[in-house]
Chains A and B, each alone.
Chain A
């Protein structure tokens, strides 16, 4: 992680709120007070279930929509009010955007380059995105994955200092995803700051310096992927023999739950707990059936968030939703 290169943050978001529809009962609060900052050269990932408010947050950072409340700064400026000044230094890949279907890939790139202040050569951008061999093909003939790569080529065409990627690898095959990851790493290496949303936890684990998990318009976990994963305990599960009577020993820093013969331990520290458990079992000649031990994972942290109900919101109607 690059720390201290730019303490102010390339992006700062303070108490951001967004609301669709009017004030009062008919509206919907998509973003409910989000605060974070992104440092120069780092990749910040926004995770969350569908409808968590990721895209609504991105739209404000991109300058496509004003915040209902709160302050957002990108490169020190208001991306909505000072759009012209911010945009030339920013690249945006939307979750979904269209092309003129009858233009070729190269024509599409040339058109876009013509609207940018300091574009890189179109051929270079297409090559980087893995479309170098498809330049003369009409956009209507591209596969879904190729269109996604063209989206990416357009976003990086202006040599952006800050790159916004809204689900950049959705719809890509594993190879395409891997290529996109390589390109993103290359851009990070050259100092580009990236904000990315994704549904793929391994993508965040692979690329993110820091991430935030959003749920119902709020950030509920934030930190490095390892830190966020560590917010959850590790898991050890096993089965005791049918006729086993002795209770499982109390282990420090561990929650235990028993369902019939099946035991689930959730230790804060995996290794000492596992060592103690295996020592206890060995000393009794006990064989633990279906033994499974795994460290805390981002996926588990994510699923725990997704399964939780939203924290109650002042005066709002959906605070009492039951966990799924």
Chain B
């Protein structure tokens, strides 16, 4: 029977499909030049503005000021450029029945999500790259203690917030509602990330809880990767830094697993009727 001869879906075909979807999203992005320019100018402007801020100026030129700034900007890129933007974009695509159409093709749900997320990810990573260049120029940031850990933080952090965005669309009926439904993830992630205040100030059960939230391990990995400093403030050698990275990496892996499961369970491809 001819129907019995079936070619299994190969990774190459999957990448091809994601690329086709991402390329179309890229065309749409280029048509919106103003938004694109704003997104890329923002981090550079922020770095130069913060240089003038008294608290940063006080620590000015120090290695850690640049690292903290860069970590903070990456956190913002993950929260807003990836998470918030993607919730809004996915809900808009769902309301326009574009997701419904994409579901009628050969692409799997994960491929559609990846293709749709591609521009948001590209913008976030470009923002981080711009911020890194600006930070080096302004703050004389030293080369990272472990570039690998920085990269791991970026990739895993992106995966977590893409999946959280997919899950958040389940409670977001309209694009306008995204402003409200994204608040819990945005606020809790940021408040407990260690960027606002050192987590060492928290009493024990809360501190462990904060470590388990999605943004905290990204910030920990960034600090380890950029400065080789643990959350406690101790400076670690390169070997110890990789060892200390295992806990945040595992936490992020757990978020990815949970996010993938929840997205599969609750993601809606069509508006509610």
Chain A residues near B (Cβ < 8 Å): 62, 64, 75-77, 84-85, 87-88, 92, 94, 96-103, 107-108, 110-117, 154, 158
Check: B108 CB closer than 8 A to any chain A CB: yes
Interface 0/1 of B84-112, CB less than 8 Å to A: 00000000010011101111111110010
CB of B21 closer than 8 Å to a CB of A = yes
- Taking a contact as CB atoms under 8 Å apart, the answer to whether B105 and A84 are in contact is no
Given A94-B100, A94-B104, A97-B104, answer yes or no on A102-B23 (Cβ-Cβ < 8 Å).
no
Given known A-B contacts A76-B1, A84-B106, A88-B106, A103 and B27 have beta carbons under 8 A apart: yes
Give Cα A21 to B32, complex, Å.
Answer: 41
- Quick one: closest B residue to A83, CB to CB? B108
With A75-B3, A94-B100 in contact, is A100–B105 under 8 Å at CB? no
Task: Determine the chain A residues whose CB is within 8 A of the CB of B98 once the complex forms.
Answer: 97-100
**B residues lining the A interface (CB < 8 Å):** 1, 3-4, 6-7, 9, 13, 16-17, 19-21, 23-24, 27-28, 31, 93, 96-98, 100-108, 111
11 A-B pairs besides A87-B106, A94-B101, A98-B93 with CB distance below 8 A are A76-B3, A92-B105, A94-B100, A98-B101, A99-B101, A101-B96, A103-B28, A111-B24, A114-B19, A115-B111, A158-B105
Contact A113 B20 (CB under 8 A): yes
5 A-B residue pairings within 8 Å (CB atoms): A76-B3, A96-B97, A98-B100, A100-B96, A108-B24
B111 proximity list for chain A (CB < 8 A) = 115
CB within 8 A of A84: which of B9, B20, B21, B100? B9
- Chain B residues contacting A87 (CB-CB under 8 Å) are 105-106
If over half of A's interface residues share one DSSP class (helix, strand or loop), that class is named, otherwise mixed; here it is loop
Q: Which residues on B sit within 8 Å (CB–CB) of A76?
A: 1, 3-4
Could you say which residues of chain A place their CB within 8 Å of the CB of B7? 117
B104 touches A62 (CB 8 A): yes
Q: Closest approach, in angstroms, between the C-beta of B99 and any C-beta of chain A?
A: 8
Closest to B115 in A: A115
B165 to nearest A CB, angstroms? Answer: 19
Q: Give CA–CA (A288, B6) in the complex, Å.
A: 67
Total A-B residue pairs with C-beta atoms closer than 8 Å? 81
Given contacts A100-B28, A103-B28, contact A115 B106 (CB under 8 A): yes
- Interchain CB contact (< 8 A) of A114 among B1, B6, B16: B16
Is the CB–CB distance between A116 and B3 below 8 Å?
A: no
Asked if residues A114 and B21 are in contact (CB atoms below 8 Å), the reply is yes
Across the interface, do B20 and A111 meet the contact criterion of CB distance under 8 Å?
yes
Contact A64 B103 (CB under 8 A): yes
Alpha-carbon separation in the docked complex, A299 to B17 (Å): 44
